[in-house]
Amino acid sequence: MINLETPRKFRAFVNQAHQVAAEMLRPNSRRYDLAEHEYPIELDMLAAMVDGLGASGNGSGAGASGVRRTAAADAGVVNGSNLSSVLSIMEMCWGDVGLLLSMPRQGLGNSAIASVASDEQLRRFDGLWAAMAITEPECGSDSANIRTTARLDGDAYVLNGEKIFVTAGARCDAVVVWATLDKTLGRAAIKSFVVLKDTPGLTVERLEHKLGIRASDTATIHLENCRVPRENLLGSPEINTDAGFAGVMQTFDNTRPLVAAMAVGCARAALELTRDLLSEAGLEIDYDRPLHHQPAAAATYQTLEADWEAAYLLTLQAAWLADNGHPNSLQASIAKAKAGRTANTITLTCIELTSSLGYSEHHLLEKWSRDTKILDIFEGTQQIQQLIVARRLLGLSSAELK
């Protein structure tokens, strides 16, 4: 059974993550929001520290762990890398979401590699900073409609296509690219490939200007006759029409709880600051009185806290299931849907509660409201998550429920 307390073995690591967020990320948050596309040099030292913790076995990074179903049914309760990652990410995003997404060697592509790579590939790609390239100009939420192609030619696959909204696409060492081996076979032919940035034919076309997470670079990448060694394909090269593209989709079982954790951390920051500002204005939150007997602002604040608690617990559940070898696709989508939308609602409502203080750049509330919007969109939009949840609960396929 899941225990709602932070596991003892993670407490020092989580406390350390909070200290980093308070002393390094939060103080630099506004600077790199204003200096969009400028690389946060402070992260180099932080990344080195995270690498050291991982090598010593005392940490799991900031999200680069993967869902690997190795827990035995009789192994007892496991508190592993997935739970450790979401707990540390919550603390780091209490500091700044964009800076967390800019952490070297902690990209979403690293999660993909950690989830589905073979043992040999894990050793070969160790130390790489990997971005994830899924979205295309003609393919957003419907990832099964990918048009980037991969054609086997001797000992290499030849990739052609364009990817947009690639987080850390300019700064990374490699990109995990989703491409199809055969467009006529639909989802089943989609595979993921690790493409090194210095591979001929791969070019970074441009960087996007964004509403939020400005500290993180978001790139458009073009692939033209890009030859990738066949051993850089993640998972099986065989096209299994019965299994669909479950192999590449397994990545989302890991990354969606991580995005949910980002949302939970940022929303907590907004709630804490809002409570302080309300207290300074003379409004105290009273948990011993019914909501209808309290000022509207106090009642609204407690409603936001309740929503936050639900998102927090759902995120822990999704990570805990992965650590214990249980399927978590449904719970990952539920957590991501709840946390993403809740964080956006919380940050915007906190601005309303704090009026001009929240709307101005005097505090970070307005920034957090911009940052959380993407957390309701990437790794699958709110609507896509609800569709996945409905399919799972009703036992329907994607063809039966669109």
H-type helices in 21-104, by residue range?
26-34, 42-56, 81-95, 97-101
Q: How far is CA 201 from the centre of its chain?
A: 28
DSSP string of 251-304, one letter each residue: HHHHHHHHHHHHHHHHHHHHHHHHHHHHHHTT----TTS-GGGS-HHHHHHHHH
Q: Which residue has the tokens 């971005």?
A: 131
In this structure, what token pair is assigned to residue 130? 């990997």
In this structure, what token pair is assigned to residue 181? 């081996």
Burial class (CB in 10 A: 0-12, 13-18, 19+), 369: buried
Q: Is 63 left (phi over 0), alpha (psi -120 to 50) or beta?
A: left
Through-space distance between the first and last CA atoms of the chain, rounded to whole angstroms? 35
* Radius of gyration of the chain, Cα coordinates, nearest whole angstrom: 21
DSSP string of 309-347, one letter each residue: HHHHHHHHHHHHHHHTT---HHHHHHHHHHHHHHHHHHH
In this structure, what token pair is assigned to residue 215? 């500290």
Q: Does residue 36 have an active-site annotation?
A: no
Q: Which residues contact 92 (CB under 8 A, 6 or more apart)?
A: 17, 20, 21, 25, 62, 99, 100, 265
H-type helices in 96-156, by residue range?
97-101, 108-116, 119-124
Instruction: Name the β-bridge partners of 206.
Output: 220
CA atoms of 110 and 113, how far apart (whole Å): 5
Torsion over CA of 219, 30, 347 and 353, rounded to 10 degrees? -150
Answer whether 111's CB lies under 8 Å from 332's CB: no
Residue 2, helix vs strand vs coil: coil
User: Of 162, 284, 379, 400, which is the active-site residue?
Assistant: 379
Q: Is the dihedral of CA 285, 30, 13, 330 positive or negative?
A: positive
Residues catalogued as catalytic: 379
